[in-house]
Amino acid sequence: MVVKWRVLLLFSFVFLATSICFADSKKGTESEAKLLLERAVNLMRIDEVVALTMMTIPNGGFHQKDLYPFCIDDSGVLMAHPYNLGRSIKSMVTDDGVKVGEIMLKNAKEGEIKKISYILPIFTEGKITNEKARKTTFFTRVGKHVCASGFYQ
């Protein structure tokens, strides 16, 4: 139990440090999205339950600007997501015909970060807008999950 508290304390400090780095604008950047994914992966390797919970809850330290990481299981169900927890993205097709969930599940490899781009309505503050934009998502396999984080261009 002491180890888990130490891990949470460590990630609290990391959250504070990255909060300072993310303070400039409301729109997340490519490097910030990749950093969030790397943080999520590191925590997944330490404690999967804590990581999935922290990625899902709004005050878990992973929601920065319009960025957040998410994870799906091998069936494509969102196991960590701030707005669509439990939804399957395996058969999701974007406005430009990209099968995001299927591609991520097929191509994700442990220790290798890949990326995929597609057109999607802008999702901000828990709401889908009528405006569409290109989103690029970094993704990787972490054990039995595929975790990702994306940014709008």
Tell me the average pLDDT of the chain.
Answer: 86
The rounded distance, in Å, linking the Cα atoms of 127 and 19 is: 23
Q: What is the tens place of the pLDDT at every residue in 37-85?
A: 999 999 999 999 999 999 999 888 999 998 999 999 999 999 999 989 9
Angstrom distances, CA of residue 68 to CA of 31, 96, 136: 13, 22, 13
Enumerate residues 6+ apart whose C-beta is below 8 A from 17.
none
The rounded distance, in Å, linking the Cα atoms of 151 and 56 is: 17
- pTM for this model (two decimals): 0.82
Angstrom distances, CA of residue 56 to CA of 25, 50, 60, 69: 22, 10, 7, 9
Instruction: Report helix, strand or coil for 109.
Output: strand
Note whether 141 and 113 are within 8 A (CB).
Answer: no
Other Cβ atoms less than 10 A from the Cβ of 90: the count is: 16
Domain 2-152 CATH superfamily: PAS domain (3.30.450.20)
